[in-house]
Structure 1
Amino acid sequence: MIPRARHVVAAALSSALLILPALTGIANAAPATAPASKVYAIPMARTAVDVKRVADYWKPDRLKKADSYSPATPGAQASPTASPTSAGAAAGPSGTTASAAAAAKRTAADSAAPTLPRKGTAAKTMGKVFFRFGDKEYWCSASAVTASNRSVVATAGHCAYDPRQTKAAEYWIFVPNPGANGETPDGIYVGAALSMHEDWSGKGDYDFDYAFVTVHRGFVWVAKDGGYVMEDVGRLQDNVGGQGLELNKKPGTYTVAAWGYPAGAQPDGSRPFDGKKLMLCQEGATRWTVAPSLDLQKGVQLMGCDFSPGASGGPWLIGYDKNRRLGSLNGVNSLTWNRDAKGWYDAVSSPYFDTTAGEVYRRAASQNTPPNVT
């Protein structure tokens, strides 16, 4: 368990967008549903040939050193003009006028129950995503989410798409329950399609720094004749289970447990985490927060959490059952905060998971993938 960090004051320091050189080219983004929808889907690896190309990139020798790659690191910003301890922390997002009954109805419609794997009494949903932008590899945290297609991963938007490059990540894979030396005991799952909100892809609005990625059937590498061959292991949810989904929960009315694989430096340069262990920020209360310079107007902040880069995309879970290792997804690690301007981060925040997040999730859950990729 991660120690609770220091005291709460006003200054905030965020981390989220990959600092990369600008590249030209527009991603092939298309509206996912009707023209009024703001959900966009971008193909990643469509065919078995595409999957094989991505798989070949992540052979065991590369996976063994994957933890040495850079955790997806956002750049630091100055203290926000509106402090998280000011009005923005206490009030809800502007324009929230729905009645409690209507909000409850939306929540019921958008919720999904957690699911155990087909074998076993405990889930193994959490892991890492590995990907590349340009000629450099990165990684983030992520989790499997229950879905009708049994093939959805939740992570941060900046762990799948860089709006400053207008470019989706390449060679994107999810490895649940990864070993410290590149082991993939529960398979490797290649990204098939990325679902996100257009305000993340279009302008990097941190109110929408989340992504749901539909993945192909998993595989493991098997040694054969001096090389490796892919062996199919089935669908993600069948193998590891899926976290539930809970939307439209008002901050301050619940507690949440945040998970991830932190690895990056703290503000004082220290590195208390190595990125090889799944870490838990002890369950805590939530509140609204804002960061105007990042267009974050309806963020949710968890205090007392000293996660550093690498934890990006890790799940926020309500009602976590430590025996079944399941809860309900209510956010993802997006920004880290140094509110007291001292040596360590002391809070983490997520975009507010409302009905819009549910639309993105349903888009990912509706995608079909080939029955076999090996």
Structure 2
Amino acid sequence: MISRARQLAAAALGGALLLLPAFTGIANAAPTSRVFGVTLAKTAADMKKVADYWRPDQLKQADSYSPATPGAQAAPTSSAGAASGPASPVTTVRRTSATQGLAPVPPRRGGAGKTMGKVFFKFGAKQYWCSASAVAARNRSVVATAGHCAYDSRQAKAAEYWIFVPNPGPNGETPDGIYVGAALSMHEDWSGKGDYDFDYAFVTVHRGFVWEQAKDGTYTMKDVGRLQDNVGGQGLEINRKPAAATMTAFGFPAGVQPDGTRPFDGKTLRTCQGSVTYWTVAPALDLQKGVRLQPCAFSPGASGGPWLVDYDAARGLGNLNGVNSLTWNRDAKGTYDAVSSPYFDTTTAEVYRRAAALTTPGNVT
């Protein structure tokens, strides 16, 4: 549990985690990085077990679940997610090229991107949710969110029954499909010690599906294809320090403010723009290179939502340069006034590469 003193300084946000040109031109790149991977739902059968949990009646209740924050105590019960698997060994990933930028990709059918949405999951017996976004990848199946929206480093345990719902409706609607998490990629310092300089995760997801109801009231799964084909994918910017005017943070805030008010309902996508500060430090959270965006009144629910540079509202696309990680009440007044993200550096690119290289079964039904 985050202590009261630490809460006054910073509190975790929560919802309740291709064939493209190669990355080029990064400075100060390390020769190797440490990436930690966890299997969530490996096979089509595993995926079906998770999907069966998230039937329409369950999704209608999903917005009432708790915002997932690092300060929220997760139930230390045995795994309830039959699809969850063990953590894989830490893998040393060698750099094959330098890294700077990856272009965003629109939906295959054209139109604006609809990449932003929510992730729903369980720790023990309790359900949680966060914000997230689809990212362009060669496997067309990658979601970016906060590390604490997919892995509890205190328990050394991945989230169970993890799904991504892009462009969610206010009453459990899933117009662009439901995407079950297949594998989680993160930095070992998040999984090993909860270092907030690495509070990000890239989740490789299965093909999407929607529930179709028959005349007798039963539901069946209909395959709708790959995530990126349906909603597009945000680009990725590494080792870039953009000007304030080009940075926009997105999320679905819902949680209570320090004064007890709830100005956000968690059902509406919100944005923040403001001044960007390098670096924000919080030693108690192992944060040394936080990037702070101010002003921003985001509250729990916005965790994992994307920070985009060069965002084109008409296209719904930009370049991912961070994720909502911590929210701040720096003036100790009634509402949060800033949000911060880990800095996206070369190590971030290596974590992303693992997620983008994984494959999933060719059909979900």
TM-score w.r.t. the length of structure 1 is: 0.82
Q: 1:269 to 1:227 in 2, by over 3 A?
A: same
1:351 aligned partner: 342
Query: Equivalent residue of 1:364, what SS?
Result: helix
- Partner residue, 1:338: 329
After superposing the two structures, state which structure 1 stretch, 137-146 or 284-293, moved more. Answer: 284-293
**Cα displacement (A) at 1:110:** 3.7
Match of 1:65 among 41, 61, 66: 61
One-letter amino acid matched to 1:218: G
State yes or no: 1:166 paired with 2:156. yes
Equivalent of residue 256 in structure 2, options 265, 274, 280: 265
Q: In the alignment, which of 274, 277, 283 is matched to residue 265 of structure 2? A: 274
- Aligned to 2:339, the other structure's residue is in SS state strand
Alignment of 1:290-369 (within 5 A): 290-369=281-360
Aligned to 1:199, the other structure's residue is in SS state: helix
Is 1:134 the counterpart of 2:130 in the alignment? no
- Which AA in structure 1 matches 2:263? P
2:198 matched to which residue of 1?
Answer: 208
User: In structure 2, how many angstroms separate the alpha carbons of the residues matched to 1:17 and 1:43?
Assistant: 25
C-alpha contact (below 8 Å) 1:336/1:349 kept by paired residues: yes
111 and 55 in structure 1: CA distance in 2 versus 1, 3 angstrom threshold? same
- Once residues 228 and 296 of structure 2 are traced to their aligned partners in structure 1, the CA distance between those partners, rounded to angstroms, is 29
Deviation at 1:251, TM superposition (A): 6.0
CA distance in 1, matches of 2:237, 2:187: 18
Give the superposition deviation at 1:108.
Answer: 6.8
**1:131 touches 1:138 (CA, 8 Å); kept in 2?**
yes
SS in 1 for 2:99: helix
Aligned to 1:38: 34
- Aligned mates of 1:37, 1:17 — CA distance in 2: 27
**Matches of 1:108 and 1:145, distance apart in 2:** 19
Secondary structure of 1:74's partner?
A: coil
CA contact (8 A) 2:274 2:295 kept: no
Q: Which residue of 2 aligns with 1:96?
A: none
Shift of 1:284: 4.1
One-letter identity of the residue aligned with 2:256? A
Partner of 1:16: 12
The reply to whether residue 145 of structure 1 matches residue 135 of structure 2 is yes
Shift of 1:12: 5.5
Match of 2:80 in 1: none
**Secondary structure of the equivalent of 2:46?**
helix
- Aligned residue pairs: how many? 319
Match of 2:241 in 1: 250
Pairwise CA distance, 1:226: 2.0
Residue 288 of structure 1: how far off its partner (Å): 1.6
Alpha-carbon separation, structure 1, partners of 2:305 and 2:250:
5
RMSD: 2.0
* Counterpart residue identity of residue 101, structure 2: S
- TM normalised by structure 2 equals 0.84
- The one-character-per-residue Cα deviations of 1:221-244 (angstroms, maximum 9, x if unpaired) are 000232100000000000000000
Quick check: 1:256–1:286 contact (8 Å CA) kept in 2? no
Instruction: Tell me the secondary structure at the aligned position of residue 109 of structure 1.
Output: coil
The aligned amino acid for 2:132 is A
Distance 1:304 1:16 in 2: 16
Aligned counterparts of 2:327 and 2:354: Cα–Cα separation in 1: 28
Question: CA separation of 1:306/1:297 partners in 2, compared to 1, >3 Å: closer, same or farther?
Answer: same
1:164-203 matched pairs, under 5 angstroms: 164-203=154-193
Equivalent position amino acid for 1:196 in 2: M
Matching residue of 1:54: 50
> Structure 1 CA distance, aligned partners of 2:116 and 2:45?
27
Deviation of the 1:121 alpha carbon: 1.9
Asked if 1 retains the 8 angstrom alpha-carbon contact of 2:211 and 2:220, the reply is yes
Amino acid across the alignment from 1:75 = G
The answer (yes or no) to whether the contact 2:119–2:163 under 8 Å persists in 1 is: yes
Query: What is residue 156 of structure 1 aligned with on the other side?
Result: 146
User: SS in structure 2 opposite 1:290?
Assistant: strand
Within-5 A mapping of 1:116-131: 116-131=106-121
How many angstroms does 1:138 deviate by? 0.1
Shift of 1:111: 1.4
Distance 1:325 1:108, change over 3 A: farther
**Residue 119 of structure 1, CA deviation:** 1.1
Residues 228-267 of structure 1: per-residue CA shift (max 9 Å, x gap): 0000000000000000000101365763100000000000
Contact 1:107–1:247 (CA under 8 A) maintained in structure 2: no
Mark the runs of 5 or more structure 2 residues left unpaired by the alignment.
1-6, 15-31, 73-95
2:86 aligns with none
The percentage of counterpart residues that share the same residue type is 75
Q: What's the secondary structure of 1:38's corresponding residue?
A: strand
The structure 2 residue matched to 1:285, chosen from 276, 285, 290, is 276
C-alpha distance 210-227 of structure 1, shift in aligned 2 (>3 A): same
Deviations 1:303-337 (A, max 9, x none): 10000000000000001001001000000000000
Amino acid at match of 1:362: R
Q: Per the alignment, do residues 284 and 327 of structure 1 end up closer, same or farther by CA in structure 2, a change over 3 Å counting? A: farther
Shift of 1:155: 0.0
